[in-house]
Amino acid sequence: MSIRLFTYIVQLVIKSKMEYKESFILGAMGQIVGYTANYLVIWLLLQKFESINGWGWTEIAFLYSLNLLTYAIGASFVYSPMIGLGQILIDGKFEQYITKPLASFPYFIASLFNIGYIAHILISGTVLIWSLVNTSIDWTIVRILYLILAIISASFLQAAFMVVIGSLSFYFLRVQYLFTILFRVREFIAYPISVYGTFFQIILTWIIPLAMINYYPSLFLFSHGSSIETTLYGLAALVVGPVVFLLAYQIWRRGINRYSGAGG
């Protein structure tokens, strides 16, 4: 599927959703209020302790915002199709995505694009920009380019986790509970992973590399830690997202090859 066709399908989905503007606006406002409350809780916590393992309010705000922003970007494309895949398979509606002369994966995610995450993007993007303005980062072309690439890579990584879980629907059908587990684990990266023990740091870096979403890019930008370690992990964060997403796509393809129809 070409990028132009993919974009066209997404535009059609957005137009159909915007037919119910009042519902969309109310939903977006509710999400903004909810995440504003989350930011407020973190701010109150920092008022009490001033810093968390050497990270101040603006740095923690950036850490949280980078996680939320990249989640929203990735989830806009894959959350709705992946969490709903099990029911789509049960209802026998998946055939409409594999019987057309289009690549099934991009067609599937484009058809179920979720514009509702715009509220997440607005609030997280606003706080992220505010936090960057209020930190003492020495902005250079390299750091600006790094931030852009880090957001892209982290968005791929966030999407990859959801694609992996969604693809398991080809084997087990009901996998919604795994999304709940993923979201609970994501809460660990709301704060610097250096506050956890070595065991959890290893898990969040090498087993479930959630720390590559926001912690290691933040280390690179804020120059925390040793320079060699910061640089290596910071650069790794730029490639982990696309690599894991490609692996997730291969799992999807294996699931497609296994699929034998609603009655199979």
pLDDT tens digits, 101-155: 888 899 999 999 999 899 999 999 999 999 999 988 888 999 999 999 999 999 9
Long-range pairs for 7-11: beta carbons < 8 A, 24 or more residues apart: 9/107, 9/110, 9/111, 9/113, 10/110, 10/113
Phi, psi values for residue 135, rounded to 5°: -110, 165
Q: Report the DSSP beta bridge partners of residue 55.
A: 52
Mean pLDDT throughout 59-70?
Answer: 95
Residue 208 — φ and ψ, nearest 5°?
A: -120, 90
User: Mean pLDDT across the chain, nearest whole number?
Assistant: 90
Q: What pLDDT is attached to residue 227?
A: 79
Which positions ≥6 away from 163 have C-beta within 8 Å? 78, 82, 245, 248, 249, 251, 252
Could you tell me the pLDDT band of residue 261, with boundaries at 50, 70 and 90?
A: low
- Each residue's pLDDT tens digit, 235-250: 999 999 999 999 999 9
Asked if residues 92 and 81 have their Cβ atoms less than 8 Å apart, the reply is: no
Q: Sorting pLDDT into bands at 50, 70 and 90, what band is 226?
A: low
Tally of CB atoms within 10 A around 121: 17
**CB-based contact 165:77 (threshold 8 Å):** no
pLDDT confidence of residue 59: 93
User: What's the distance, CA 185 to chain centroid?
Assistant: 13
Query: How many angstroms separate the Cα of 134 from the Cα of each of 7, 139, 149, 196, 207?
Result: 36, 12, 21, 27, 33
Average the pLDDT over 3-9 and give the result: 88
Tokens of 80: 């709705």
pLDDT value of residue 262: 60
> What's residue 225's pLDDT?
60
pLDDT of residue 264: 52
Report CA Rg, the chain.
19
pLDDT in tens, 94-114: 988 888 888 889 999 999 999
**50-61, pLDDT tens digit by residue?**
788 889 899 999
Alpha-carbon dihedral of residues 109, 115, 121, 122, nearest 10 degrees?
Answer: 170
